[in-house]
Structure 1
Amino acid sequence: MNKKSSNDTLSSTNQTVAKKVKTPKRPNIIMILCDDLGYADVGFNGSEDIKTPALDALAMTGTKLTSAYVPHPFCGPSRAGIMTGRYAHTIGAQFNLPPNSETIGEGIDKNETFMSKVLQESGYQTGMVGKWHLGAINKYHPNSRGFDDFYGFLGGGHNYHPEDYKTKYAAAKAKGTQTIWDYLTPLEYNGKEVVDDNQYLTDVLSNQGVRFIKEYSKNDDPFFLFMSYNAPHTPLEAKKEDIEVFSSIKDKNRRTYAAMVYAVDRGVGKMIEELKATGEYENTLIVFFSDNGGRLDKGANNFPLKEGKGSVYEGGYRVPMFFHWAGKVPSGMIYNHPVSALDLYPTLTTLANANSKIPSDKILAGKNIWDDFLLNKEVKREDYIFTMRHRNGFSDVGVRKGKWKAVKAFKQNWKLFNIEQDIGESKDVSGSYPKIIKELVSEAENWSRTHIQPKWWHNKETGEEWKSLKMPHFEKTFSID
């Protein structure tokens, strides 16, 4: 589905010629992150059945990035990479934290300075709304990692209807249940339990984004807002009236999923209205993307990419993305060159004039792309973009450089694709370019030497398997047959 208009997204023709723009210092920054959003599930990236008018308007008057990658095809490691500017494998966070992670007392290493902390220490007013998933005990809490203002939940997901999750939580508590599933636990505001969240969760989060903009725009200092939606992550739950908007979609999962994305779009529209009302719209950079690819079994569409969430093929970690900043980011431009979400840390802190607050020993895997991005120049021609997923005693790997991408997927041999000509990764050309695949695999192996052992696993069984099989066995992963 959605095949016709997706070609427009991949077009190399730009509607606006990029030109040098003098960038003012210290804009407001809003980073909007969706959870498990499919590549083709927003109008600006080709969707014909999901309506996203607010996002489309921003994308069309900003710049669409058609070749944007996140660091990992799963939520937790991807978010860890975005906030630390490092691949999660290099800090022991290559697996999702398990449900109710407060029981294991783990989180992202405190020695890793988050982007939010750098911005906070440089004078930014910092806020986060929504899903955290980077540690649930106090020392890993958002308020301890650079956020002045946090409203949301600490785990990897949450149910959406308060009449449902509040009832189930109260029932479990009445029974004396020691550990209640964190999808049901109360939301919090700066460590205090929230009791007035009586609307659909996505609307609650959007309203908090509006509240943050309204409150913090009154001060002279710029603000950084991380809008970390959990939609359209499972469970598939939407408002009845939103589902009715998509009554023409026959598949139940797709229909509910579409309604969940629609609710995010509505919230973004409200935040844009508030930016304009407070006079902050023209001094605000908005970055929109997803933490990984969509789940094909839960209503998502990643066309024309191969596979989805969890995969090292494109559908697992190539995501929809746009930058919008009125008068500064080119309007109507399409940026087709590869970029990584790891580039956001150095790029945004540079725009914020906050580099002096980055610790001198801080390792960053990305680069500041801003100036070349504005001119529509390729900024990562010589850079490698990696991803890796461990599963069932094996390691899946994806590595891209320029037009070439090498893939090692579950129990299969290494394959090579010309990703610019074959975005669907359908034709293995490794036999024709042995030197190229050897180079890519060699660089991925060098990258693997920077990894450390996982500090946790998403469940007990995976941890036991990892230890019994003496993982990761990279000597097998990087052999070319």
Structure 2
Amino acid sequence: MFMQLLAIVASLAGAPPNIVVVLTDDQGYGDIGAHGNPVLKTPHLDRLRAESRRFLDFHVSPTCAPTRSALMTGRHEFKNGITHTIYERERLAPSAITIADVLGDAGYRTGIFGKWHLGDEDAYLPGKRGFGEVFIHGAGGIGQTYPGSCGDAPGNSYFNPAIWHNDHFEKTSGYCTDVFFNRAMDWMDKGGSKPFFCWIATNAPHAPLDVMPKDEARYAGLVPPDVAKFFGMIANIDDNIGRLLERIKASGRERDTLVVFMNDNGGTVGCKIFNAGMRGQKVTAWLGGTRASSFWRWPGTLEPGDIKAHAAHVDVFPTMADIAGVKLAGPVSSQVEGRSLLPLLLDPQAPWPDRYLVTHMGRWP
């Protein structure tokens, strides 16, 4: 163990790694084959999990925009001004410093692909929040529009969606999840030797349950029709996870790239089949609403295995800064409320003081 830790410390002292985050939308903890789901097959996610440090007691918010704000800032949701997912209560406080700001200042290329959901007005868009490459849909989902400024391109669809690319809408071709992964992987390959921070946030498997027919067919007749669509959307995500891992390997960057996988809140449609024995789901403060997957894969640096310590979304920001060799100081140090998980990633038995994490639902009218 001691020699392994020495090797890890040496690798961390070298060039900072690339960081890829994959965040799925409404895929619960139980919506992964390796977590015991009796129907859903996720071979690539299962492989990713098996090759990762994996947190068994990792918690997020019961809905998506609050979770995203905590991940981006290392600060709890209400302090970010996020109390809902719509009605302009999903807008990230302009004063907030994001992990993209911090990593960009440290020399990283920064890109976001997919779902942002922290404000659709110009001042709130990710291009003003530290991301150099922006390729996103609007609102909380493709085609969604609500009173106020929270809205996507009118009539937008999961198929051939119009996507906001830096400063204009771009009409794309294909299924949304494929489009986001394709664009992200192409962007990763274009930056030369600079490290990159790539945020891939799928809007799937969030409703509406628009799914590729071939993916729905995998589960048709095995589960109710809505679950077949939902599981089909996850199957497509799983396929893209496989493509991502192979692309990173083929590029020769596998040992220089940290891949993190998480989901944004508790499960939804899939809970009809399996919820890992938990009470509650999305939009509840029970365990089924907050427990999430958290896989950290970095071949040659992080040994696969379980981490039992209590961890949360607010811990991701300081952890990534730590891994990138960034010392948090000044306003950002005061902003961050989470702890770096790096000691646990290096040694799951590392001291980890007890803590309280309180979940508060803010979806009042």
The question of a shared fold, defined as TM-score above 0.5 by the shorter chain, is answered with yes
Q: For the residues of structure 2 that align with 1:207 and 1:248, how far apart are their CA atoms? A: 31
- Give the aligned partner of residue 304 of structure 1: 277
- TM, length-normalised to structure 2: 0.89
SS in 2 for 1:338: strand
Of 48, 52, 59, the residue aligned with 2:42 is 52
- Give the aligned partner of residue 178 of structure 2: 203
5 Å-filtered alignment, 1:11-160, equals 20=5, 21-22=8-9, 23-25=11-13, 26-70=16-60, 72-98=61-87, 101=88, 107-158=91-142
One-letter amino acid of the counterpart of residue 199, structure 1:
G
Q: Tell me: CA distance 1:73–1:356, structure 2 relative to 1, closer, same or farther (3 Å).
A: closer
Q: Which moved more, 1:341-350 or 1:179-188?
A: 179-188
SS in 1 for 2:21: strand
- Give the aligned partner of residue 336 of structure 1: 308
| Kept in 2: contact 1:45–1:320 (CA 8 A) | no
> RMSD between aligned alpha carbons?
2.6
Query: CA offset at residue 356 of structure 1?
Result: 5.0
Query: CA offset at residue 299 of structure 1?
Result: 5.5
| Kept in 2: contact 1:19–1:374 (CA 8 A) | no
Identity of aligned residues (%): 27
Q: Which moved more, 1:369-378 or 1:129-138?
A: 369-378
Q: For the residues of structure 1 that align with 2:109 and 2:150, how far apart are their CA atoms? A: 34
Q: For the residues of structure 2 that align with 1:73 and 1:345, how far apart are their CA atoms? A: 19
Q: For the residues of structure 2 that align with 1:145 and 1:358, how far apart are their CA atoms? A: 18
| Kept in 2: contact 1:253–1:299 (CA 8 A) | no
Please, which runs of 5 or more residues in structure 2 have no aligned partner?
A: 157-161
- Give the aligned partner of residue 290 of structure 2: 317
One-letter amino acid of the counterpart of residue 77, structure 1:
P
Q: Tell me: CA distance 1:180–1:355, structure 2 relative to 1, closer, same or farther (3 Å).
A: closer
Task: Give 1 or 2 for the bigger CA radius of gyration.
Answer: 1
- Give the aligned partner of residue 184 of structure 1: 155
Q: For the residues of structure 1 that align with 2:93 and 2:291, how far apart are their CA atoms? A: 26
One-letter amino acid of the counterpart of residue 147, structure 1:
F
How many residue pairs were aligned?
352
Which digits, 9 at most, give the CA deviation of each residue in 1:365-389, with x for residues without a partner?
1111212332112654322112100
SS in 2 for 1:187: strand
Q: Tell me: CA distance 1:110–1:321, structure 2 relative to 1, closer, same or farther (3 Å).
A: same
| Kept in 2: contact 1:40–1:303 (CA 8 A) | yes
One-letter amino acid of the counterpart of residue 289, structure 1:
M
The answer as to 2:244 corresponding to 1:271 is yes
SS in 1 for 2:22: strand
SS in 2 for 1:334: strand
Of 169, 180, 185, the residue aligned with 1:193 is 169
| Kept in 2: contact 1:65–1:336 (CA 8 A) | yes
The answer as to 2:279 corresponding to 1:295 is no
SS in 2 for 1:211: helix
Larger relative contact order, structure 1 or 2 (CA cutoff 8 Å, min sep 6)? 2
Q: Tell me: CA distance 1:143–1:357, structure 2 relative to 1, closer, same or farther (3 Å).
A: farther
Q: For the residues of structure 2 that align with 1:381 and 1:300, how far apart are their CA atoms? A: 36
Query: CA offset at residue 40 of structure 1?
Result: 1.1
Q: Tell me: CA distance 1:181–1:114, structure 2 relative to 1, closer, same or farther (3 Å).
A: closer
| Kept in 2: contact 1:373–1:379 (CA 8 A) | no
